[in-house]
Amino acid sequence: MESLYSEIVVAGCGNPLFADDGFGPAVVEKLKDLELPENVTVVDAGLGGPHFVFTLLNPESTKTLIIVDIADFGGEPGELRWLSVDELPVGSYRDAHSWDLTEPLQYIKDDIRVRVLACQKKYVSSPEMVIGITDEVQRAIPDAVSEILKEIGVNYGTA
């Protein structure tokens, strides 16, 4: 019987109304323009990412979860970094409702490989709305797409 759940889930988290916070959804938009393997689901998890993402996973069929989001890891704006769940300090990764995502990720990491592709933010406008990603973070989008394609084993001749 075919599973309703994908083997690989790529979830872009963030809100395009808050400047660089729209990075995750922007990367997902670019990925959806590509032909990806059938075992890959790409979703714009938006602002409710932490709540929504867990509904897309089934440890019996989901092997990898890739979260795409901005982060403040002390890098240069637009710098990308792969983070493991263990590299996310408790309380450092929260959704808009202050729910700590690190705790449930710790629970699933032994059954599902979790990778976080983080982009160093330059500016997040929340709670004020500012539509548009900064130039530094915008320039990181093609590299983020390339990193994800490598991670899921897709090569369009550009890697």
Domains defined for the chain, CATH in brackets: 8-152 (3.40.50.1450)
Give per-residue pLDDT as tens, 123-148. 998 889 899 999 999 999 999 999 99
In the chain, alpha helices (H): 23-32, 49-53, 102-108, 135-139, 141-151
Distance between CA atoms of 90 and 82, rounded to whole angstroms? 17
Q: What does the pLDDT look like over 94-121, one tens digit per residue? A: 555 556 677 778 888 889 999 999 999 9
- pTM of the predicted model, to two decimals? 0.87
Residue 106 is encoded by which pair of tokens? Answer: 């710790």
Q: Of 60, 72, 23, 64, which is closest to residue 44 (Cα–Cα)?
A: 23
Token pair for 122: 């330059």
